[in-house]
Amino acid sequence: MKKVLLSWSSGKDSAWTLHVLRQRTDVVVTALLTTFNVAADRVAMHAVRRDLVRAQAERAGLPLWEVDLPWPCSNDEYESRMRAACDRAVADGITTVAFGDLFLEDVRAYRERQLAGTGLEPMFPLWGAPTDALARQMIAAGVKARITCVDPAQVSPAFAGREFDTALLGELPSSADPCGEKGEFHTFVHDAPVFDRAIDVQAGVIVERDGFVFADVVGTAGSSVMTEA
C-alpha cells in the first residue's frame, strides 16, 4: 500500500482529494502538507489563518506538516524548503505526494519536475474531472466552504466571504471555472466528509490587497479555534 502525503491548501479541492483517496484500498494518506507565509501566519493566496488549518487537520485525523516560507520568498528559497519536506517524506517511508489539481497542464508539469529525483511520485486523483459536475458533487456530498480570495478581474468581488454553494455556481460568469481552477477564487473548507465534525466559522473583514479581494475567516465565539480579528 502506498503511503501518501497530501498537498493541503485548506480549500475544497484538497478536501475532496482526501475524500477520494480514502475510498481507495491501495493508498493511505499519512499527513497533510501546507505552506505558510510567516509574515502573515496564513496560507498564501487562500489567506487562511494557521489555527484554522490546524483545526482542519485535527478533524481529518491527520498530522499537519507546516512549511514556513519567508515573505517575500524567492523561488529558490521555496524550492529549497519544499525539498526538505520531500526528504522528510522519504525518510518516513512515504512514496507519493498527491495534489488536487484539475486541469492546468503547466501546474502539473511544474509539480512533476520538482518531484523528479526526490524518490517521490506525484499523484493527481481529480485530474480531468469535469469541473461543473465535480463542484456540484462536492456540494451534494456535504463539502462546505467559504470564499476567502477573489480575483476581481475574473469574478465579482461580491463573492468574497460567501459560501461555495449551488447558488454561487449559478451566479458565476460563463468564463469562470466552477471550481476556480484558473485562480478565480480560493476557499476554506469548514465541513466535509473527511472531517469528524465541522469547524464553526464566520466571515470577517474584507480587504483589497495586491489586486485581489480577501475575506477573512474566523472561528466563532465558543469555537475551539476562536482567533483574534
How far is residue 43's CA from residue 36's CA, in Å, rounded to a whole number?
A: 5
In a domain? residue 227: no
CA angle 39, 156, 135 (to 5 degrees): 85
| pLDDT of amino acid 219 | 84
In a domain? residue 229: no
In a domain? residue 39: yes
| pLDDT of amino acid 143 | 98
The H-assigned helical ranges of the chain are 12-21, 50-60, 75-91, 105-115, 131-141, 166-171
In a domain? residue 226: no
47 alpha carbon, distance to own chain's centre: 11
Residue type, 88: R
| Maximum distance among all Cα pairs of the chain, rounded to whole angstroms | 47
Cell numbers describing residue 14: 484538497
Query: Is-contact 12 45, C-beta < 8 A?
Result: no
Q: How many domains does the chain have?
A: 1
In a domain? residue 70: yes
Q: What is the CATH number of the domain that holds 40?
A: 3.40.50.620
Tell me the pLDDT of the chain (229 aa) as tens digits.
Answer: 999 999 999 999 999 999 999 999 999 999 999 999 999 999 987 999 999 999 999 999 999 999 999 988 999 999 999 999 999 999 999 999 999 999 999 999 999 999 999 999 999 999 999 999 999 999 999 999 999 999 999 999 999 999 999 999 999 999 999 999 999 999 999 999 999 999 999 989 999 999 999 999 998 754 444 333 3
Q: Which of 43, 46, 18, 33 is nearest to 126 (CA)?
A: 18
| pLDDT of amino acid 54 | 98
Tell me the residue range of the domain where 77 lies: 2-219
- What b/e sequence results for 56-90 when a residue is b if at least 16 CB atoms lie within 10 Å of its CB, and e otherwise? bbbbbebebbbeebeeebeeeebeebbeebbeebe
How far is residue 179's CA from residue 164's CA, in Å, rounded to a whole number?
A: 9
In a domain? residue 113: yes
Instruction: Find the distance separating the first CA and the last CA of the chain, reported in whole Å.
Output: 43
In a domain? residue 197: yes
In a domain? residue 183: yes
pTM of the model: 0.94
| pLDDT of amino acid 203 | 84
Q: What is the DSSP letter of 34?
A: E
H or E element that contains 110: helix 105-115
